[in-house]
Each structure stands twice: as C-alpha cells, then as structure tokens.
Amino acid sequence: MEEKKTSNFIHDIIDADLAEGRENEVHTRFPPEPNGYLHIGSAKAIYINHTAAKKYGGKFNLRYDDTNPVREDDEYVRAIEEDLMWLGAVPTGGIFYGSDYFDKCYEFAVKLIKEGKAFVCDLTPEEMSEYRGVPTSPGKESPYKNRSVEENLDLFERMKNGEFKDGERTLRAKIDMASPNMNMRDPVIYRIKHAEHHRQGNKWCIYPMYDFAHPIQDALEGITHSLCSIEFANHRPLYDWVIENVGFEHDPHQYEFARLNMTYTVMSKRYLRKLVETKTVDGWDDPRMPTLSGLRRRGYTPSAIFDFIERSGVARSEAMADLNLLEYCICEELNESAERRVCVLDPLLVEITNYPEDKVEYFELSNHPKKPELGTRKLPFTKNVYIERSDFMEEPIPGFQRLKPEGEVRLMGAYIVKCNSVVKDSDGNVVKLLCTADLVTGNGKREEGPKVKGTIHWLSKEHALDREVRIYNNIFNKENVATLLEDENFEEFLNPDSLEIMANAKIEESLKDARVGEKFQFVRMGYFTLDSKCENVFNRTVALKTGFKPAK
C-alpha cells in the first residue's frame, strides 16, 4: 500500500490526541469476523486503520473476531489474511484471535459479578426483548436482577460447565433499563452456545458478546484508536462502560466513520453468502462479487481499490459510492500500465480473395501507444482473418463506419479491405465475408481513392488461438439494491445477464504465455486478465469507457 499524503477527520483526532498528550503513539486494529470473505467495504476499514498507523509510525493489528463459533471457519481465516497481504496492509502489530482472550473475558465477567455489576438472567430472548421496551420509554427490570453475588457466581460457573441449554440463561451487565440508548439497557455480555469452535474446540460452551469482548481485546493489545463503522456509534457508551468497569490502566477510545456502500451491489455477508449458497455465483471469489478475492480474480488492483476509497471520502456521514467511480479508477490505472493485445470476441471469417493462398507477412504493432519503451510485436497476416461480428452490418445504420457491403475499412496496422460479397448458411446467417485488399496500403498510406474512416482489429485464422472470454456485468439490476433487498424478493433483483461467455473467442499468439496477474488491454474491447481458477479463460476487468465523469 502506498503511503498517502491526504488527511481526514480521523487524522485530525489523532493529531489532537498526540498534541495534547492523551496518546504517545498510534495503535490500530482491523477486527474481521471469520464468517465470510472480505469485501470492498472491508477494504475501507483496512485502509483507514492501516494508513493511520503507517502515517504516524504506529502499529496495525489483525484480530479475528471469532467469538461466535456457529459460522466461523478456517477457510475464512486464511482468506482474510491472504486479502490483507494482497492489499499490502501488513499487520505490523501482529495477528491475534479474539478467542485467545476467552479466559481473560471470563475472568473479567466474574469480576463484574463479584462487584455486583453483572447478573445471570433466565428471561427468554422473547421476554428480554419485551422487557427492554422502546427508546421513548423505560424498560422493565429483569426479575432476576437482584440475585445474590453467590448465586450469580454459581449459575455462571454452571453455564460454563454446560449444565444449561442454548438460550436458557445469559449473563447481563447491570447498567440502566431507563437509558434512551437501548444498548445500555442491561445488555447481554455472555450467552450459551453448544457449538465447536474452530480454534478452541469444545473447551467453551459460553461465549462473550462482541460488545463485551471487543473493548477488552483492544485494551489488552494496547489499541489507542479503535476505528469502526458508524453503526457502532450507539455502542460506544457500552464500550466505554466495559473499559471503565473492568478497570484497565490503558484507556482505548472508539471513533466511527461512515461505512462503504456501493451501487448495484450489497455488502451484507448474509446476502453475499446467499449468492454463494444458491449457486448464483461460483463461489466467494466469483468476479461478479464485491469481495476482495472476486475483485482480484477479475483483475482489480489494490492501488485502484484504495484510490476509489480515497476518492469516495472518509467521513462520518453515510453515502452511496458510485460503482462507476471504482471502474473509472481501475480504467485510469490500466490505461497507463496495461500492454495492448488483440482478441476477437465473436469471430466472423473474412477471406481476402486477392491475397496469395500460402503467404504470411507480419505487421508491427505497438505494445503501448504512449510508451514506446515497451516496444512492439509482430502480428501475422494471411488470406483468412477473423474480425468482430459486430464490425460488420449487412444493412448498416446511419453513421456506421465499419465494414458493410461494398464498403471499405482499415484492418488495424495492415491493409484497407473492401467487402465484395457475403456468404450465408442455410438459415440465412452470415458465416463469411469475401473481401479484396488494397495491397499498396500496408504501410498505412493510400495515395489514391476515397478516404477510409473506420479501423477494426483482426487476427489471422491460421495463427489465432482459441480461448474462452468472460464478460462480467452487475450482478444486481437496481442501482440502490441494498435498500430494496429482502429474502422474499432476492431473485427479483438478480441480473440475468451478469455473465456473458464468449466460448469461441480468438487471441493473438503472444498471449499464449500470459500469466495470472498480468493485465492487458484487448484493443477496442476493454481490460482483461487471465482467470486464476479456470485454465485458458480470460476475464474482463472493465470496459474501455465507464459511466463516471470526473470533475474538470
């Protein structure tokens, strides 16, 4: 990750903390729950925490929030670390697991019970919800709130020992049932879950709630600035309550930023998991997914993703980021860095009738028009070539400047050709064009005759390689789908054309040795990269033009 020179409101807070002596260093963390793959919204949290630590010469931790054993898996643990390393967000402060603090969390929970600040509650989840009330009126005290310290200690230990069923009892903090902040109305800090943990096995059947475990983990790791998304703003008083009442000398503080939402997709793991489980996509790393592994497989780069996040802004107020801006960022980068190659996605055969049968000549094409230092390559030309089917119209529309009956067009870097006749199959489909070449125009000049406006790309039939090319589009068909999506209408918003497979595409020979991770501009077609999972498949990263218009 490149060091950023920009600043934001979080850096202003850090500047003030350092200037006033509230902190002497900066230590941040990224605490993902290993119950799914990271997405581009996660990248914003990584970007904010990592760049803050780097800017101030501090430390950055990766801490897995594995306090809920039900959906956690080692697959997600590995994927998260791989994504961080790919982004360049190396956890300089170390890699930790929330589950490694279970003994300390239990110890602190016992401490709260002994001090009369926590109690074991027998209310069912439904009863507890009813007792909590609504923000505009006080809730009701649990009938179990006044149990003695001795009874609470006994019940809590029996909870730990597995004597009770899931949901039968909880441990709750004693705070304020009249608080307008619902998170402070005697929140649950421990629940019973008889489930095997991916690291702890069956050692525990009680697990701390995130709001209890997270501030403890921050304090134990020496985190100074606990930076999280805005939905945790109402949880901050509980964060502070835990820090104060557990009794830490080190006093971390929580600050919130607006999470990243983006048009035509969702950041909810619930719905991303549904896409995977319903096989709407071929996995968490499907290139249509907003996951980092999906974006990587599609050909996006860490620098383009961070550029998008920075341009979208780091602020407190929620906003919807434009997918077109993300596409613009990768387009801008690849336009500068990607070498040019030729690919014919939907081939139509052209026979040059006046060209010798066995002749092969080579035309030199630039690898990058703006970077002569990248050199050139030679493209073979023969009697039979492929062009894009869309570059020919038998009945051209007004303004069409490509190939048409009795019309001429320049084959890129080679000859001007004229379409003399059209060959069709028994169903009336065009299968071949018979053309003649102006054989004195191979040097790019035409001394006599009409001026040719159109230029199209091509490949020699005898030298082209067969490949599959996949064109990815939005997986959802509504711009603001995140606000509309529910389980009942999930399929209604799926885009049936989110994947187009060009099974008979042709590529130039120089792409034979392309490696995973390399990016190319297929001239006139967009930016492409070799798929990391499917052999001999190229994925389109983005089209040449996007719908985003930068401010002038």
Catalytic residue set: 33, 259, 269
Contact (CB, 8 A) for 25 and 224: yes
Contact (CB, 8 A) for 146 and 120: no
Q: HSE (CB half, 13 Å, CA atoms) of 151?
A: 9
Q: What SS3 class is residue 357?
A: coil
The one-letter code for the residue type at 239 is: Y
Burial class of 165 by CB neighbour count within 10 A (0 to 12, 13 to 18, 19+): exposed
Q: Which residue has the tokens 């985190």?
A: 223
Query: Comparing C-alpha atoms, which of 325, 297, 288, 295 is closest to residue 310?
Result: 325
- What are the CA-CA distances from residue 547 to residues 186, 234, 334, 365 (Å)? 50, 37, 16, 29
- Number of DSSP helices (H) and strands (E) in the chain, helices first: 12, 27
The DSSP element (H or E) to which 225 belongs, if any, is strand 225-229
- What are the CA-CA distances from residue 292 to residues 87, 105, 210, 295, 552 (Å)? 9, 32, 24, 5, 30
Helices (H), 222-379: 236-246, 269-277, 292-298, 302-312, 323-337
Burial class of 453 by CB neighbour count within 10 A (0 to 12, 13 to 18, 19+): exposed
Contact (CB, 8 A) for 472 and 286: no
Burial class of 86 by CB neighbour count within 10 A (0 to 12, 13 to 18, 19+): middle
Contact (CB, 8 A) for 431 and 423: yes
